[in-house]
Amino acid sequence: MSQIALPYDLTPPVLLAPMAGITDLPYRTLVARFGAGLVVSEMVASQELLCRRPGTREKAELGLGIEGTSVQIAGREAEPMAEAARMIVNQGARIIDINMGCPAKKVTQGASGSALMKTPDHALHLIEAVVDAVDVPVTLKTRLGWDDAMLNAADIAQRAEAAGVQMITIHGRTRCQFYKGQADWRAIRAIKDAVNIPVIANGDIVSASTARTALDQSGADGVMIGRGSQGKPWLLAQVAHDLYGTQLPDVPQGAAFAEMVLEHFEEMIRFYGETLGGRVARKHLGWYMDTCRTPVDLRRALLTANTPDAARRLIPQAMYLGSTEAAA
């Protein structure tokens, strides 16, 4: 099995991608329980983090001090990025990940995320500032480039490695592709060939079969799974089993699936409170119902439940009917 040593071996090399509004603490905890080499927090803006100074809930949300968790930060200025990294490491962060891959307009219009690929000299200045500010591993997540005319990920990766970055994750699309078309795993090989540090392939990896193809085509050291895990928190562990022979996860079926969903729902309510937790839970409940093929009438009833108690009454029935699509 491939081993990726940062502060400890990231074994298996099957990682959970950071997804805004999705990879919160309750979801990361659930995925990690099934098995994952690393889970990454939702992206947090460095300047926003400095303004609000993490309290108890924020520290839990970022996963500060939790083994197997990376905290992803984003920004456009070196000093706030370095200060934010230093602050969260002092509060227990084990790994810092720099976001240079987010394609969202609200991020790129602020010259952050994948917009940094248009200004590689400036991006390198940010990377150097963060690496110099902390004594934990710093990793980088990026795309192939800004667009087809600017495929500069290999050059940026080389410069990031020289600056001290210890692992790079590449989403196999350009920023201007957003999530359209198919991720180009073959294009990731140019980045893998350019550096000596581990490279992780990301984008459209939704099963053991696609993970194996992505590894074969990219030559990468591991895979990162994002949207494919929605409604299937066991997917990373299942892919790791099929590719690397790790323990086969016990994929819940029937009543056990309903029980898992209800536990996840309760964790969201406990973490966010009833009002916000109920809203956050809806998208996860929708993905779970996609997985178990809930009938339309039950789906509608659950997604329009106006109190946590109403949702609690419906979850066992809505999640028990049908069967989970467990195959990876």
Per-residue pLDDT of the chain (328 residues; tens, 9 = 90+): 555 655 556 889 999 999 988 999 999 999 999 999 999 998 888 888 787 766 555 655 777 777 788 999 999 999 999 999 999 898 888 899 999 998 988 898 888 899 999 999 999 999 999 999 999 999 999 999 999 999 999 999 999 999 999 999 999 999 999 889 999 999 999 999 999 999 999 999 999 999 999 999 999 999 999 999 999 999 999 999 999 999 999 999 999 999 999 999 999 999 999 999 999 999 999 999 999 999 999 999 999 999 999 999 999 999 976 556 554 5
- Cβ(257)–Cβ(319) under 8 Å? yes
- Cβ(314)–Cβ(301) under 8 Å? yes
Pairing of β 14-16 and β 222-225: parallel
Per-residue pLDDT tens over the stretch 127-157: 999 999 999 999 999 999 999 999 999 999 9
58 vs 20, 68, 260, 282, CA distance in Å?
15, 18, 25, 22
Q: Which residues are annotated as a binding site for FMN?
A: 18-20, 72, 141, 171, 226-227
Active-site residue set: 102
Widest pairwise Cα distance in the chain? 56
Per-residue pLDDT tens over the stretch 204-237: 999 999 999 999 999 999 999 999 999 999 999 9
Q: Which residues are annotated as a binding site?
A: 18-20, 72, 141, 171, 226-227
Q: Give strand ranges (E) for 54-202.
A: 69-74, 96-100, 138-143, 167-171, 199-202
Q: Taking the domains of the chain in order of start, what are their residue ranges?
A: 14-244, 254-320
**Any idea which architecture 14-244 has in CATH?**
Alpha-Beta Barrel (3.20)
C-alpha 307/C-alpha 315 separation (Å) is 12
Element (H, E) at 61: helix 56-62
